Structure 1
Amino acid sequence: MTADLDQGSRTPLVSVLIPAFNHEGFVERCLDSVLEDPYPAKEIVIIDDGSTDHTAERIAQWVAAHGSEIPVEFVRRENRGIAATLNELAARSHGEFLRIGASDDYLLPGGLQAQVGYLLSHRNKGAVIGDSIVIDGEGNRLHDSGMCDLHGADKRLYDSSDGIRRAVIGHWAIGGPVTLLRKSVLETVARWTEGLRIDDWDMFLRLAARDAIGFIDVTVCAYRLHGANFSKTRHTATRIVNLTESREVAMSRVCLFDEPYRTLLRAQAQFIAAKIAFLQRRHTRVALHLATYASLLLLSKLRLHRTAHVHAEGA
């Protein structure tokens, strides 16, 4: 499923967008990885989103040392949040393609080339995702596949458009800077929804509803697990807030999908509600939400089979 660039192919500009926040120990490695990647047509657009440590100073020092080797736009401003920062980064970019970065992770060589090659040969796709390795705060490898080992994904789902839709809806397994977007896709699905904490799933639901996501089984980045991003997922109150927003996102995007995916997303909203009730120790509600989830899941499968039967008869 990988599509590399041929010798005679054009090399469109890729803008690597990096929202930086309190990653003074990691941001230089992130920037080095963009410079080291062999893809020839690239720029860095990086915003320090109100860091309270020395992240901005580290970025400025790196730009002073390497700014003549790669085009870089660096902005330092007050904190506005991840979605607002991504929207500003996209607005400041000049590339045909946007690679979403993260200042504590880093790119792996060859990932840009593989992803650009895929989008050049799949004009109907607005985004392509890859896989990642998972490392700790010191750079030691924890997992070979973020999708499979960290998130328990079944990569076979990503072999088809139907499977990708079901994976995005029912088993979110996209972690780290693994996405390359066409800049033009932001004009059709809108930009990141500001004010959300779960901005990435919201964006991918909108892309999935338009059948705009492709996949290549290539490790394109290193996704770093460390204290700041690991502990938040273990804090009960934070998990409840995140899950509540996820459920609201799911319900707000149901209308974008046709059946059976509409029912599948409604089922996922019930499953998320069961998780919230479990964390709140409301066991009767857990059982109620799980029962509703199971019935909707069965209904979505019946509708999927019915749709497949209709298509088979019409063929």
Structure 2
Amino acid sequence: MMAFDVSNNTETLPLVSVLIPAFNHERFVQRCLDSVLEDPYPAKELIIIDDGSTDKTADRIADWVATHCMDLPIEYVRRENRGIAATLNELVARASGEFLRPGASDDYLLPGGLDAQVRYLLTHPGKGAVIGDSVVVDQDDKKIHESGMRDLHRANKHLYRSDDGIRRAIISQWAIGGPVALMRRSALDTVDRWSEGLRIEDWDLFLRLAARDALGFIDVSVCAYRIHGANLSKTRHTPTRVINLAESRQVALRRACLFDEPYRTLLRAQSHYIGAKIAFLQRQPSPLVFHLLAYLSLVVLSKLRVPSTNPRAEAT
């Protein structure tokens, strides 16, 4: 992978706005911010919102901004808690860049990731966003997995090499771990940004992008996705898992209309697969059997569906 010639005038390069929603990550946020500064891509700005942290995250950010305010353009806002989707939407509204790189205050960028993703979007003008892979680290920055997609989520990365494969992967094998996307501002304007009030706002957004064939992929690790006590506890807490899965099922049902066949039927099948997971966690055997049978039937039906020749429905 060739790097940009940073000796060139940075005004000729598209501006990337790195967007950091921060919440209760006092231990990790400095590493996150350092990584933005360390990335060699020169045309960038940093927008940070502390979303009502109750620990010392806001103080850590303020100290870092005071130290590095002359090193790159920075905007920092501290306010009450409004949730991740509202914070991401506000970050986009404050950003000036043609390209937007959402981050997370407990993860960090890997050098060269911005370069690779900007190059992809510049050479693929029909794509609204591009995702990469991640490495997975623990709370002490020790590498756990070389590939978040392959090793953590057991995904087949070969699927992501075509529009058909990306659609199938986003629908049936969600494997986007960490902040791995670079997006065109215009693409977010088209699909109405993040849906506020959702816990799984990322899957909802990527479904809307995939429905338009607006999503690309590069097999490059662009960030470090951190696994630590706080996010592990969320995935292990059964009531929280049930709430998240129930929301995922509603998203699948709501967004099915955006897709042509056979993807529409696949997304309906996925809603039943999620329903089976909920029934299993709640120890409800009859709903479990019902959802599994419905899932298998719809998967078979999707194989018989002829791809639609009608224009795709517009994302709303």
Q: What is the CA–CA distance in structure 1 between the aligned matches of 2:205 and 2:60, rounded to whole Å?
A: 30
**Equivalent position to 2:302, from 300, 303, 307:** 300
Shift of residue 178, structure 1, vs aligned partner: 0.4
- How far does residue 307 in structure 1 lie from its aligned partner after superposition? 3.5
Preserved contact between residue 260 and residue 307 of structure 2 (Cα < 8 Å): no
Identity of counterpart residues, as a percentage? 70
Aligned counterpart in structure 2 of residue 197 of structure 1, from 196, 199, 202: 199
- CA RMSD of superposed structures (Å): 1.6
Deviation track 1:90-121 (CA, whole Å, cap 9, x = no partner) reads 00000000001000000000000000000000
Q: What pairs with 1:145-224 in structure 2 (closer than 5 Å)?
A: 145-224=147-226
Where does structure 2 lack aligned partners over 5 or more consecutive residues? Answer: 309-316
Contact 2:4 2:41 in 1 (8 A): no
Residue identity matched to 2:231: N
SS at structure 1 position matched to 2:105: coil
Structure 1 residue 191 displacement after superposition: 1.1
8 Å contact 1:157–1:164 — kept in the other structure? yes
Residues in 1 aligned to 2:185 and 2:265: alpha-carbon distance in whole angstroms? 30
Query: Of 243, 253, 256, which residue of structure 1 is paired with 2:255?
Result: 253
Aligned to 1:235, which of 234, 237, 247? 237
Q: How far 1:3 sits from its partner (Å)?
A: 8.2
The answer to whether the 8 Å contact 1:132/1:223 transfers is yes
Aligned to 2:103: 101
- State the SS of the aligned residue for 1:267: helix
Cα shift at 1:196: 0.3
- Which residue matches 2:52? 50
What do the CA deviations read for 1:235-266 (whole angstroms, capped 9, x no partner)?
10000000000000110101111111000000
**Which structure 2 residues correspond to residues 256-267 of structure 1 after superposition, within 5 A?**
256-267=258-269
Q: Deviations over 1:104-157 (max 9, x none)?
A: 000000000000000000000000000000000111100000001000100010
Runs of 4+ in 1 over 4 A off after TM superposition: 2-9
Distance of 1:109 and 1:62 partners within structure 2 = 19
How many Å separate the matches in 1 of 2:123 and 2:251? Answer: 32
Return the alpha-carbon distance in structure 1 between the equivalents of residues 141 and 303 of structure 2: 42
| Map of 1:131 onto structure 2 | 133
State the match for 2:282 in structure 1. Answer: 280
Structure 2 distance, partners of 1:252, 1:6, is 45
CA deviation vs aligned residue, 1:186-240 (integer Å, no higher than 9, x gap): 1111110000001000000000000000000000000000011111101100000
Deviates more, 1:63-72 or 1:3-12: 3-12
Letter in 2 for 1:191: R
Unaligned stretches of 5+ residues in structure 1? 309-315
Contact 2:3 2:112 in 1 (8 A): no
